Amino acid sequence: MYSILPTGLLGLTLLLADCARPPQSAPAVSPAASAPTEAPLRATAASSPQAVLPAAETLRTGAEQFERYLLLLKGKRVGVVVNQTARVGKAFLVDTLLAKGVGVKVIFGPEHGFRGEAADGATIKDGKDARSGLPALSLYGATKKPTPEMLKDIDVLVFDIQDVGARFYTFISTMHYVMEAAAEQNKEVIILDRPNPNGWYVDGPVLEPAFKTFVGMHPIPVVHGLTVGELAGMINGEKWLAGGKQCKLTVVPVAGYTHSTRYDLPERPSPNLPTPHSVALYPALCLFEGTDVSVGRGTATPFEVIGAPTQPSTRPFRFTPTPNPGSTSPPQNGKLCYGQDLRQVGDIGFTLKYLLDYYQQSTNKEKFFLSDRGFDRLMGTATVRQQIIAGKSEAEIRQGWEPGLTAYKVMRKKYLLYPDFK
């Protein structure tokens, strides 16, 4: 049975299957009056309903559920915002949509490009996709936000990119700019949702406005505990787009997913996150990018090893970063790094223990933080760096961010589309 929230308010459209209960703010519709399966359900942006799906249902990503969104694309000029993770089975979503007669006109690619092969931070050039012949435009580098010229012949934008659940993972920043451009230019946005591999918890300090950058655009914690569809609803509902605008947004949720679901990504989401374990370690280890500690870029095990020349030589593991396709100029290039191999570390979630340990053991503490702003932009605050230097414990540091994190958790519940973790 479907539950339909009042229409007529600019907000979030949800395509939900077999909802077990309606959102509390919505009047229920009897089975006799229920909409057909292909009809969208509408909700105001501030009161997104939860998608409660049978626990035994096989997990299906939004992209796999053609029956829920192909009709929304019929007869429309479509732009797709995708990378190598936008697949249905082994096929690229772009190729599948074209085979189904969808009028795809342009491909937009984020950091690492459409095929996901560019190194971190590399400039992505506009060009043409060799397989489809479609123009492929970059949304990373000089142009992070689609321009009016890019969207002049587009009716709807389809976003299908796998996120990993960390605030500084830039694909959610690309999504923000896509939504913002759509709101300004009166275009539709359809999010084909995917599971969050780190969606089973929420942790870390909430970003302060002074530290808003492309690696952190929203007042959310380091580990936000949302799928991209849920985050898009939050961005719209909290009016975080420029000028407080809201875009016309449709989310196709993942069937059979809950925030307790542990999900191993079938494709690497970016060149330096090659394994499920690296994805799990990423929220904690990425903070080292603002320090002199290598996270293994330029090795075969990025985000699974850490070390630096300024660490004690008695540390149990050593490695030397060298250029490779995923990192053409890795930190500590050619230098022997002393550190740890974390490939056998269990499920740790977000932690400061490595950061505190490596600062305390550094033989050059004055240069441990590469620049105040670099580390602070990742953390979303200057306070944590100052507390680390002052010798505070992890428990003491956590006390400082707990009020903001608690308030975020309350706000987050308004935008959940799936049963939450316990």
Encode burial over 137-166: b for 16+ CB neighbours within 10 A, e otherwise.
Answer: bbbbeeebbbeeebbeebbbbbbbbbbbbb
Q: How far apart are CA 108 and CA 81, in angstroms?
A: 5
Tens-digit pLDDT profile for residues 296-307: 999 999 999 999
Nearest-5° Cα angle at 271, 79 to 284: 105
- Report CA 116 to chain centroid distance, whole Å: 15
Tens-digit pLDDT profile for residues 108-135: 988 644 554 444 444 445 577 878 889 9
Residues 6+ apart with CB under 8 A from 44: 5, 6, 9, 11, 12, 237
- Report CA 275 to chain centroid distance, whole Å: 17
- Report CA 166 to chain centroid distance, whole Å: 6
> Exposed, middle or buried: residue 318 (CB in 10 Å: 0-12, 13-18, 19+)?
middle
Confidence of residue 265 (pLDDT cuts 50, 70, 90): very high
Say what percent of the chain tops pLDDT 70.
Answer: 82
For the cut 50, the answer to whether the pLDDT of residue 5 exceeds it is: no
Q: How far apart are CA 50 and CA 243, in angstroms?
A: 28
Residue 202 tokens, joined? 């929420």
Secondary structure class of 153 (helix, strand, coil): coil
- Report CA 10 to chain centroid distance, whole Å: 24
Confidence of residue 16 (pLDDT cuts 50, 70, 90): very low
CA dihedral angle for residue 275, residue 97, residue 59, residue 346, rounded to 10 degrees? 10
Tens-digit pLDDT profile for residues 38-88: 333 233 333 333 333 333 358 999 999 999 999 999 999 999 999 999 999
Q: How far apart are CA 298 and CA 133, in angstroms?
A: 33
Q: pLDDT value at position 78?
A: 98
Tens-digit pLDDT profile for residues 144-190: 999 999 999 999 999 999 999 999 999 999 999 999 999 999 999 99
